[in-house]
């Protein structure tokens, strides 16, 4: 059976972008799928700690820009579709939200799902008090009390970031903390942070909006009044995405050493891999290894091989002209603002929008916003805005 691609990479975070770049540089035809936008976790983080080396910090946006640019330059094709199933085997097939494709090899780099406690009513409170992005949603809790659930280095960093705005940050550690000694010191030095070990959240309080949690510690249970809850536990790997591959208890794919799985054509890189350490440098190293392993598997004879250049590279897909026509019948008096809901974003947009309103003598301005900063824009809202308005002024950043 013919394959559409030499390598299909599922997930374009640090691991996926790196694997895709390495394979494309070796001359393979590579597609990288992402159901959202490239970057994965990096999109939610402002500052990366311990990157590139322990004790150092790096700008997340800068690193992401570089990873995407390098993958692009190497000839990786980015596809913004969700992969719903990988049928592993000698000639893998991928089911995606945009149809089925074949690839000679697959790298699974889907990362993990967002943290969850697994409690009744939890999903309804996401974006209404529950968040997993301190950088995005932290400012919403200025002057209020929040709780953070987790035990790793990144939980500690998120708690410290929240302590810059919240009045009180209670860190609920299910067992014992795994964070570094240096972070123990920084948490202890913050007057706003309290760490409770052996603490389990047993219930959520709040009608429509979170107002508190019930916390059980050895032998006792108590109510904790908080407006914000940031869970970094219960994150799940891609589980059943790939047919027939064994997973661990967190749904991460088990390997046979390194990034190789029991199926020779399927590799796994980054947080999705069982036993991954869960950091940007280790996701990058996994991506390098998975890209190189895919190249070695597809090019066993060695040598640089022929580089196949995609003749359509850089050409707009055929449907983009049709999409561009779909802008509705709005005229230039129809202008709207679309806020990302970060602090002051709406005020900035309204201020700039009013200037445009005066300048063009517009009767009114439309308005839409994301429910919270860490959520992706709702497809229906995008549909509505693009049908109803000629121009939409969008806020990005913080």
Partner 1 sequence: MELEKRGAVAPLLVTSTFLPLVEAQAKARRVTPRIVVVPHPVGGLNEAELAERIEAAAGALLPLADEARGSA
Ligand X SMILES: Cc1cc2nc3c(=O)[nH]c(=O)nc-3n(C[C@H](O)[C@H](O)[C@H](O)COP(=O)(O)OP(=O)(O)OC[C@H]3O[C@@H](n4cnc5c(N)ncnc54)[C@H](O)[C@@H]3O)c2cc1C
- Positions that interact with partner 1 (CB under 8 A): 12, 37-39, 43, 46, 59, 61-62, 64-69, 71-72, 78, 80, 139, 314, 316, 320, 323-328, 330, 332, 338, 342-345, 347-349, 351-352, 355-356, 359-360, 377, 382-383, 385-386, 389-398
111 binds ligand X per the rule CB under 6 A: yes
Binding to ligand X in span 122-181, by CB under 6 A: 154, 157-158
Specify the DSSP class assigned to residue 90.
S
Q: Which of 102, 174, 278, 328 binds ligand X (CB under 6 A)?
A: 278
Integer Cα distance of 54 and 58 in angstroms: 11
Which residues partner with 308 through β-bridges? none
93 binds ligand X per the rule CB under 6 A: no
- Closest distance of CB 360 from partner 1, Å: 8
Residue 87's nearest CA partner among 243, 240, 239, 237 is 243
Read off the tokens for 276: 């991954």
Integer Cα distance of 170 and 226 in angstroms: 9
Integer Cα distance of 72 and 38 in angstroms: 11
Give me the half-sphere count of Cα atoms (radius 13 Å) on the Cβ side of residue 88: 18
Binds 389: which of partner 1, ligand X, none (CB < 5-8 Å by kind)? partner 1
- Closest distance of CB 315 from partner 1, Å: 9
- CB of 215 closer than 8 Å to CB of 222: yes
- Closest distance of CB 92 from ligand X, Å: 14
Specify the DSSP class assigned to residue 41.
G
Give me the half-sphere count of Cα atoms (radius 13 Å) on the Cβ side of residue 92: 29
Give φ, ψ of 42 to 5 degrees: -60, -30
Residue 23 or 215 with smaller CB distance to partner 1: 23
50 binds ligand X per the rule CB under 6 A: yes
Q: How many residues bind ligand X (CB under 6 A)?
A: 34
- Closest distance of CB 316 from partner 1, Å: 6
The footprint of ligand X (CB under 6 A) covers 10-16, 33-36, 40-42, 45, 48-51, 82-83, 109-111, 154, 157-158, 270-271, 278-281, 283
């Amino acid at each position: 059976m013919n394959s559409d691609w030499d390598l299909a990479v599922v997930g374009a975070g640090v691991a996926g972008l790196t694997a895709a770049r390495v394979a494309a540089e070796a001359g393979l035809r590579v597609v990288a799928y992402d159901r959202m936008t490239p970057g994965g976790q990096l999109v939610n983080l402002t500052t990366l700690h311990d990157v590139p080396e322990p004790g150092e910090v790096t700008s997340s946006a800068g690193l992401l820009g570089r990873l995407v640019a390098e993958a692009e330059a190497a000839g990786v094709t980015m596809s913004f579709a969700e992969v719903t199933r990988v049928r592993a085997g000698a000639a893998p097939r991928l089911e995606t939200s945009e149809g089925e494709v074949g690839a000679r090899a697959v790298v699974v780099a889907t990362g993990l799902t967002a943290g969850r406690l697994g409690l009744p009513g939890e999903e309804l409170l996401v974006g209404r008090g529950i968040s997993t992005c301190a950088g995005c949603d932290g400012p919403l809790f200025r002057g209020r009390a929040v709780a953070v659930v987790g035990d790793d280095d990144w939980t500690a960093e998120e708690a410290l970031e929240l302590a810059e705005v919240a009045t009180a940050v209670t860190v609920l550690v299910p067992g014992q903390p795994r964070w570094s000694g240096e972070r123990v010191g920084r948490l202890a030095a913050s007057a706003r942070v309290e760490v409770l070990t052996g603490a389990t959240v047993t219930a959520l309080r709040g009608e429509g909006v979170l107002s508190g949690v019930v916390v059980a510690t050895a032998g006792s249970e108590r109510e904790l009044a908080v407006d914000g809850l940031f869970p970094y536990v219960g994150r799940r790997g891609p589980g059943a995405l790939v047919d027939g591959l064994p997973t661990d208890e967190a749904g991460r794919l088990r390997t046979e050493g390194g990034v190789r799985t029991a199926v020779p054509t399927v590799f796994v890189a980054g947080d999705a891999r069982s036993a991954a350490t869960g950091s940007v440098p280790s996701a990058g190293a996994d991506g390098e290894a998975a890209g190189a392993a895919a190249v070695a598997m597809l090019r066993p004879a060695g040598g640089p091989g022929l580089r196949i250049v995609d003749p359509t590279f850089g050409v707009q897909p055929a449907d983009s002209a049709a999409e561009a026509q779909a802008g509705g019948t709005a005229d230039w008096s129809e202008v709207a603002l679309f806020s990302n809901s970060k602090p002051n974003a709406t005020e900035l947009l309204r201020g700039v929008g009013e200037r445009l309103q005066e300048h063009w003598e517009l009767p009114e301005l439309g308005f839409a916003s994301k429910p919270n900063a860490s959520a992706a824009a709702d497809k229906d809202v995008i549909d509505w805005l693009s049908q109803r308005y000629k121009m939409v002024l969008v806020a990005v950043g913080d």
